[in-house]
Structure 1
Amino acid sequence: MGNLKSVALPLLLAVSIIHLPFSESIWFVNYHIHVTNDLPLLNSPPGKPNLFLHCKSKNKDIGDRPMVKGQDYTWDTKINFFQTTLFFCNARWEGRKRRSFDAFVAYRDERRCVMHHQSCMWSVREDGIYFSKDNATWFNEYPW
């Protein structure tokens, strides 16, 4: 009986993946996460970083990124089998504010980010961190 269980789960998984159209199977979708520095310069000279971003998941550290105004921090991910993929970021606006936010959460973003070429777009602004699924409509999801 134990051998039947060890065969049944992989077989069920294979059948479910084959049954789904390729574009609908979340395990094949590559999601693009973009975080853009849209903060005002204020007292920072042009060309000097005014935003410091550190993004990571449980298994992958994307690293620290000093960002100048208008710069985009981008990485790709796929959703894992258990749909628990999570990337979070710590944003520090030089000399002003700090905020942590979830840049990609599988159960939250698998549907909403697929609308615009599988992109999850974030914009760090003076009053918070905004999300857009279409690069046209923005929502302040993480106020400072």
Structure 2
Amino acid sequence: MGSLHVKAIFLLLAIAITPSTAWTVRIANRLSHKKVLFAHCKSGDDDLGPQYIKPRDEFKFSFRVNFFRTTLFWCNMSKDKKSHASLDVFWSFSNAGKHGGLDLSAWAVNEEALWIVRDDGIYLWMKAPGWPEDEPYVIETLFHRWEPKR
């Protein structure tokens, strides 16, 4: 076996045993009129089960991105009997194309994806571009509007 093969094997082993960054997704209920938010979140490997998030409360879960950087979590949410939303709440770089090129890992603050659920839709909190890491100024952007249930 040539030295190039040995180096390649060593590099792959080093990558494989290096722990990936731990991520947290938070879904905060900021609906008016003391509405309870329903959320059911899943990935290709995990079903987090139905969650009933009380007013002013939040649901959060943590995980590590897989070796191939293809980790994807999505949630189905409902604020009442008339409206719902289905959206990805975490994606790795490999899924950025599906989200207009947005690499969530580059915009998230402290390896955390924070989703704020309001009456008009679901907002994502992100770092402002070029802002220093030690001053995590965030911007809140409407990411997904509620859709009528059929």
Query: Residue type of the partner of 2:13?
Result: A
Bigger strand fraction: 2
Query: Residue type of the partner of 1:76?
Result: S
Residue 15 (structure 1) shift: 4.8
Give me the whole-angstrom Cα distance separating, in 2, the residues matched to 1:16 and 1:55.
29
- TM-score, structure 1 normalization: 0.75
Which of 44, 48, 52 matches 1:62? Answer: 48
Q: 1:84 to 1:125 in 2, by over 3 A?
A: same
Which of 87, 111, 116 matches 1:118? Answer: 111
Residues 79-90 of structure 1 mapped to structure 2, 5 A cutoff:
79-90=65-76
Give me the whole-angstrom Cα distance separating, in 2, the residues matched to 1:133 and 1:124.
15
Alpha carbons 1:119, 1:133 under 8 Å: kept:
no
**Alpha-carbon displacement from aligned partner over 1:22-54 (angstroms, at most 9, x marks no partner):** xxx7x521111000011111xxxx5xx521100
Residue 133 (structure 1) shift: 2.5
Aligned CA RMSD, in angstroms, stands at: 2.6
Give runs of ≥4 in structure 1 deviating > 2 Å: 7-12, 14-18, 133-136
- TM-score, structure 2 normalization: 0.72
Q: Which runs of 5+ in 1 are unaligned?
A: 19-24
Q: Percent identity?
A: 29
The aligned length equals 126
Which of 17, 29, 33 matches 1:37? Answer: 29
Q: Which runs of 5+ in 2 are unaligned?
A: 94-102, 128-136
Give me the whole-angstrom Cα distance separating, in 2, the residues matched to 1:141 and 1:14.
38
Query: Residue type of the partner of 1:97?
Result: S
Q: 1:54 to 1:10 in 2, by over 3 A?
A: farther
Which residue is 1:142 aligned to?
Answer: 144
